[in-house]
Structure 1
Amino acid sequence: MTQPTLEQIASCIAGYDPNAMPVAQAQEFIARLVPRVQAVERLPIRSALGRVLAHDVVSPIDVPSHDNAAMDGYAMRGMDLADDGPTLLPVAGTSFAGQPVVSVVPPAFCARIMTGAVMPDGLDTVVPQEFTTLLPDGRISIPAGIVRTGDNRRLRGEDLARGEAALKAGRVLRPADLGLLASLGQAEVPVLRRLRVAFFSTGDELRSVGEPLDEGCVYDSNRYTLWGMLTRLGVELIDLGVVRDEPDALRAAFEQAAAAADAVITSGGVSVGEADHTKRIMAELGEVLFWRIAMRPGRPLAIGRIGDGAGGRGAILFGLPGNPVAVMVTFYAFVRDALLAMAGANAEPLPVMQAISAGALRKKPGRTEYQRGTLRPTADGRWQVEITGSQGSGILRSMSQANGLVVLHHGQGNVAAGDLVDVLPFDGLV
């Protein structure tokens, strides 16, 4: 299938302006751009945590396989319950989980039953043992109004019926899903292959951890935050290190990355006026657009396709800004969901909660701002968020101190103390 060109995608975006692009517009463009992984492999369920399910899993059995007791007690017929006083019933045997069921329980009798045991034929109600009294003559006494017909019984196929889809394709498998697969007797599960993502940092001033820090140089932090964010997504990582701002070195790095990966992520070298060769090499090796996003932090962004890619169709390129906070914000605003879509995962929007702003926030309409904040519960059970000091895009400590991003939307203006604001919590995100 022929992929649309970037120009064709841009023609589908209403009001497309690469020099002043709203966040939502950029997200729409990227969603139209990214391809999906197609290759499928089968894995033991213990190796499938975090992987993307390739096909629907259809239940081959009813779960549970029989009507059974939801708790320890006595199984009985609901029709035997007395309306005007206690119900007195003799006991005819005991049913244990995993053992043959008491086959015949005469009318007006009950059976002792344990949690998970199969309900004897004709019995439809379980009274918990703590609500009963064992009388000297061997009968049990059940007070009026304690149970109703059908209480405390789990029906055959109540969780899943034979032939029903237990899990849908595109689901990122979680611990409970592994248990569900095991309950169906599934030893293996079909999953999409892992997405391959190559990443590197650019800049002559960058040094890797462990190298001496020359005058005017800084340690590269971006590869480590990218490694952490990508690891959370469960992708296959290709770390190409720090690449000097030299045409031959950049070209070799981009070509190596594009040949090995489905997606390539760089940090640095995409801002207007930067004295480096990154943008030129990007443009030479593929079809790349350079955007100015109406957001803060993270205005410059490169997007496109380069090389042949792991699937032979061109690797998707995400050229992120170089400032550490801007790298993280643009990753969460644009790259995270794109990579999940490329991996075949069903889209699940990030959880957004509302919190009371502890202080006034200055904001001009016309751009989206992401401010680092700390969420805390208030005495009355609500949530309050306080900004973590200076919001400069190079102050990575502000992200480390925060536990969420305050999202001030494109059309939003100043925020007064006490106003509600949207917050993206970090829990489960970073």
Structure 2
Amino acid sequence: MTTLNVLSRCVAEYDPHALPVHAAQAIVRQWATPVTTAERVPLHDALDRVLAEDVMSPIDVPAHDNSAMDGYAFDGALLDTPRGSESVTLELAIAGKAYAGHPFEGSVPARSCVRVMTGASMPAGCDTVVPQEHVTLDDASGRPSIRFSAQPLARGANRRRAGEDLAHGHAALRAGRIVRAADLGLIASLGIGEIAVRRRLRVAFFSTGDELRSIGEPLGPGCVYDSNRHTLFGMLRRLNVDALDLGVVRDDPAALETALRDAATNADVVLTSGGVSVGEADFTKSLLQRFGDVAFWSLAMRPGRPLAFGRVWSGAQPGHGKHALFFGLPGNPVAVMVTFYQIVRDALLAMSGAAPQPLPLIRAISINAIAKRAGRTEFQRGIATRDAHGQWHVTPTGSQSSGVLSSMSEANCFIVLGHDIGNIDAGDTVDVMPFAGLI
């Protein structure tokens, strides 16, 4: 079996000790294979699911020519009356009314119109609508009529054609799309109540460390409450995957081996936090040498340098039993979140069957000087604001320690300092990745 590590060495700038972020992202993309199983779900259960097949329109939307506004529908050929230097005024008798869902029945007499409301079907023989605010109504004679200037109108004005939004037989939505609220309405407008979606990706996660305690347990000397499982749960929930919380695993090779094998058996992806550095109590590396396959262990990234990516098998050795992709995240809380968003997130989206889009960046002026060493990518936490002229400014949220989780709560963006960038002076322009829509 060709190992993932061997194949990863073909990626440009491969460095197992300090892999550039973009190279790590390229390696992960190669192995983020989408799940293939699909299921049909009711429309109200489809929000945030990934379409498994194109949604084809079985009808024209709208189903008929209709009025785009309240007004009066008439035969636009009347606008073709020869015009002189002055505008032509048309006078039309009102033959009846049409409402959305209640069309005008019958034919429209010559030089007549029909009062129409927005969404009403266009009466037979009518193709143009004059807005109600542009007409003068005359009903003094007992035979209601309207007068209006023909000058500003063109034939077909204010009419929506059948199939203008979606034509019968055309794709309304493509496979791989994450279904959003507007998509639910669009699908419903086609009369479709059930769609095919990819099954949810199964992601198992656990924290490692003898010092960790779960909420509700007493804290002993040197112990801390485990926050990483809760941030991981929140981030996974946003991606609408099946999140399997396996709790806290102590620093014991046998316990860790059992947890990894069980996770590989039951999930598509395994996420751990802690246990991937070089400490004496970090056993993940030795275990994965037995029944795993690792592409890299370390990134040229801050925070998040110790990060492992590979595969883990449920069997006795690589290639035996079921396997899952493995991400060994750092133990520090901020590093967990940064590595998840910059390395793991897109992989989970791709494995769910979606097509991940690049996260948006905006340019902002740094209010502060920022110390930065070239040769690694940094994701500092910042607060971005926009001034009265529309210019964005950003300042770091104080301490950038990877253990200060409050820096993530206070921030509204990442300040992204690229691999080759050095120190930033106050007033320099930097890239900013907003949290809105991400976290």
Give the TM bin, normalised by the shorter chain.
over 0.9
Match of 2:372 in 1: 363
CA 121–9 in structure 1, closer or farther in 2 if over 3 Å, else same: farther
CA contact (8 A) 1:245 1:278 kept: no
The alpha carbon displacement at 1:293 in A equals 0.7
Match of 1:121 in 2: 124
The alpha carbon displacement at 1:350 in A equals 1.4
Give a deviation string over 1:109-167, Cα, whole Å, max 9, x none. 21111111111122211111122110234221113444322221111100000110001
* Structure-to-structure mapping, 1:336-415, within 5 angstroms: 336-415=345-424
The percent of aligned pairs where both chains have the same amino acid is 59
Kindly indicate whether residue 230 of structure 2 is the aligned counterpart of residue 224 of structure 1: yes
| CA distance in 2 between partners of 1:73 and 1:233 (Å) | 46
Q: 1:72 aligns with which of 70, 73, 85?
A: 70
| CA distance in 1 between partners of 2:384 and 2:103 (Å) | 55
The alpha carbon displacement at 1:417 in A equals 2.1
Match of 1:95 in 2: 98
The alpha carbon displacement at 1:40 in A equals 0.6
Match of 1:167 in 2: 173
| CA distance in 2 between partners of 1:4 and 1:230 (Å) | 31
Match of 1:85 in 2: 88
| CA distance in 2 between partners of 1:105 and 1:156 (Å) | 20
| CA distance in 1 between partners of 2:336 and 2:201 (Å) | 20
Match of 1:25 in 2: 23
What TM-score do you get using the length of structure 2 for normalisation? 0.93
CA contact (8 A) 1:198 1:263 kept: yes
Match of 1:192 in 2: 198
SS at 2:334's partner residue? helix
CA contact (8 A) 1:124 1:153 kept: yes
CA contact (8 A) 1:94 1:102 kept: no
CA contact (8 A) 2:5 2:293 kept: no
The alpha carbon displacement at 1:239 in A equals 0.4
Give a deviation string over 1:250-281, Cα, whole Å, max 9, x none. 01111111111000000001112353322212
**Unmatched runs of 5 consecutive residues or more in structure 2:** 316-320
Partner amino acid, structure 1, of 2:153: V
* Structure-to-structure mapping, 1:7-46, within 5 angstroms: 7-46=5-44
Which deviates more from structure 2 when the two are superposed, residues 334-343 or residues 371-380?
371-380
Q: 1:416 aligns with which of 425, 430, 433?
A: 425
| CA distance in 2 between partners of 1:179 and 1:173 (Å) | 10
Which deviates more from structure 2 when the two are superposed, residues 255-264 or residues 73-82?
73-82
Kindly indicate whether residue 209 of structure 2 is the aligned counterpart of residue 203 of structure 1: yes
Give a deviation string over 1:302-326, Cα, whole Å, max 9, x none. 11111249xx651000000101100
| CA distance in 1 between partners of 2:106 and 2:383 (Å) | 62
SS at 1:339's partner residue? helix
Aligned length: 427
| CA distance in 1 between partners of 2:209 and 2:288 (Å) | 15
| CA distance in 1 between partners of 2:2 and 2:436 (Å) | 36
CA contact (8 A) 1:196 1:238 kept: yes
Kindly indicate whether residue 91 of structure 2 is the aligned counterpart of residue 105 of structure 1: no
Which deviates more from structure 2 when the two are superposed, residues 53-62 or residues 407-416?
407-416
- Backbone CA RMSD of aligned residues: 1.8
| CA distance in 2 between partners of 1:308 and 1:123 (Å) | 70
CA 185–224 in structure 1, closer or farther in 2 if over 3 Å, else same: same
| CA distance in 2 between partners of 1:400 and 1:274 (Å) | 32
| CA distance in 1 between partners of 2:76 and 2:360 (Å) | 45
Kindly indicate whether residue 67 of structure 2 is the aligned counterpart of residue 61 of structure 1: no
